[in-house]
Amino acid sequence: MDRFQSMQLFTRIVELGSFTRAAEDLQLPRASVTLAVQDLEKRLGTRLLQRTTRHVSTTPDGQAYYERCQRLLADLEEAESAFGSALLKPRGKLRVDLQGTLARHFVLPRIGEFCERYPDVELEIGLGDRLVDLVREGVDCVLRGGELRDSTMVARRVALLQQVTCASREYLRRHGTPTTVDALRGHQAVNFLSQRTGKPLPFDFLVDGVARSVQLKGPVAVSDADAYHACCAAHLGLIQVPRYHIAPRLADGSLCEVLADCRPAPMPVSVLYPHSRQLSPRVRVFVDWLAQVMQDAH
């Protein structure tokens, strides 16, 4: 194994926290990974990794070497990607995690286009809304909706999605249609639980340019987008969602928008990736493609 391959292997062990997972990730025998690290430590004359039965972590020298490896590998990818030769086309495995509703509505219907354009990129797609440790889990980038809180990632905003407040026609027949934010008193909601806090998210409104938040009580709280829509359709209360989620139901009249003159601010959609992936040709072309897909949809 040459020095470049040893550096790649070492960074994956650090990022995944496991010899076994790094071996699987790079499709190498476990014994070869162990031997390569032993040879690397012998060549450098220092111990790089601390091993326990459950986890692998860096020594102070190992952390310094890891950071240097990241910079060198990124510089190499940048140098190679600067040339347009067919031999340097994006290639290799690309792990992405996409918010489920965004993926099903915008991305997956067109994913064949990306695969056709970049046949040497092997996509591994995860769907969900959970918080992902990109470095630890070996994920190259994620697509998420909502305001960003993780400042350690590189972020690129790719869309702003209109949000609406709505309820079923039958719910409004039973409880009346609110015409102001203050009129929401006495109404009930299908509450959506924050993945970060586990608490119900408030309903947000812009009233004459001023942001207002209202917490509504309701008979049910959920943590899944499909369940959120289903409970609204079952006449259990108001919901607040990006318009694309429920566009067909608004069109057929089964759900009705309320308080259209004080909609919440549009929901940002962003792609996030670690600084260490910033110059990767695979990540760059996928992020550019996602941005184009979201732009075409609006």
Asked whether residue 279 carries a pLDDT value surpassing 60, the answer given is no
Residue type at position 161: L
Per the DSSP assignment, residues forming a β-bridge with 93 are: 122
DSSP run (H or E) holding 139: none
CATH number at 9 reads 1.10.10.10
CATH number at 219 reads 3.40.190.10
- The mean pLDDT of 74-89, rounded to a whole number, is 59
Domain final residue pick, 25, 43, 76: 76
Are 188 and 254 in a shared domain? yes
Residue 231, domain extent: 163-265
User: Among 279, 214, 296, which residue's Cα sits nearest to residue 76?
Assistant: 279
- The mean pLDDT of 172-180, rounded to a whole number, is 95
- The mean pLDDT of 215-238, rounded to a whole number, is 94
Q: 99 in a domain, yes or no?
A: yes
Specify the DSSP class assigned to residue 261.
G
Are 167 and 150 in a shared domain? no
Dihedral sign (CA 148, 150, 156, 158):
negative
Report the share of the chain in percent with pLDDT over 90. 49
Q: 83 in a domain, yes or no?
A: no
Q: 121 in a domain, yes or no?
A: yes
Are 272 and 251 in a shared domain? no
Asked whether residue 132 carries a pLDDT value surpassing 60, the answer given is yes
Are 43 and 118 in a shared domain? no
pLDDT of residue 284: 86
Q: String of b and e for 142-181 (b: at least 16 CB within 10 Å)? A: bbbbbeeeeeebbeeebbebebbbbbbbebbeeeeebeeb
Are 253 and 171 in a shared domain? yes
pLDDT of residue 273: 85
pLDDT of residue 153: 78
pLDDT-wise least confident of 2-16, 18-32, 122-136: 122-136
Are 45 and 185 in a shared domain? no
Confidence of residue 86 (pLDDT cuts 50, 70, 90): very low
Q: 252 in a domain, yes or no?
A: yes
On whether the CB atoms of residues 181 and 238 are closer than 8 A, the answer is no
Asked whether residue 116 carries a pLDDT value surpassing 50, the answer given is yes
Are 284 and 149 in a shared domain? yes
Domain final residue pick, 76, 111, 138: 76
Asked whether residue 87 carries a pLDDT value surpassing 50, the answer given is no
Q: Is the pLDDT higher at 87 or at 270? A: 270
pLDDT of residue 88: 54
Asked whether residue 256 carries a pLDDT value surpassing 60, the answer given is yes
Taking only the tens place, the pLDDT of each residue in 52-62 is 767 788 999 98
On whether the CB atoms of residues 207 and 262 are closer than 8 A, the answer is yes
Are 223 and 148 in a shared domain? no
- The mean pLDDT of 92-106, rounded to a whole number, is 90
Asked whether residue 11 carries a pLDDT value surpassing 90, the answer given is no
Are 199 and 242 in a shared domain? yes
Are 100 and 61 in a shared domain? no
Give the CA distances from residue 156 to residues 113, 134, 146, 266, 291, in Å, rounded to whole numbers and listed in that order: 21, 16, 13, 16, 9
Report the share of the chain in percent with pLDDT over 70. 90
3-state secondary structure of 158: strand
pLDDT of residue 69: 86
Indicate the average pLDDT of the chain: 87
On whether the CB atoms of residues 180 and 261 are closer than 8 A, the answer is no
Q: 195 in a domain, yes or no?
A: yes
Q: 126 in a domain, yes or no?
A: yes
Q: 81 in a domain, yes or no?
A: no
pLDDT of residue 146: 85
Confidence of residue 20 (pLDDT cuts 50, 70, 90): confident
Are 195 and 134 in a shared domain? no
User: Among 145, 158, 150, 107, which residue's Cα sits nearest to residue 267?
Assistant: 145
Q: 274 in a domain, yes or no?
A: yes
Q: Is the pLDDT higher at 203 or at 68? A: 203
Domain final residue pick, 76, 99, 125: 76
Are 45 and 119 in a shared domain? no
Asked whether residue 283 carries a pLDDT value surpassing 90, the answer given is no
How many domains, in total, are found in the chain?
3
Asked whether residue 79 carries a pLDDT value surpassing 70, the answer given is no
Taking only the tens place, the pLDDT of each residue in 192-224 is 998 878 899 999 999 988 999 999 999 999 998
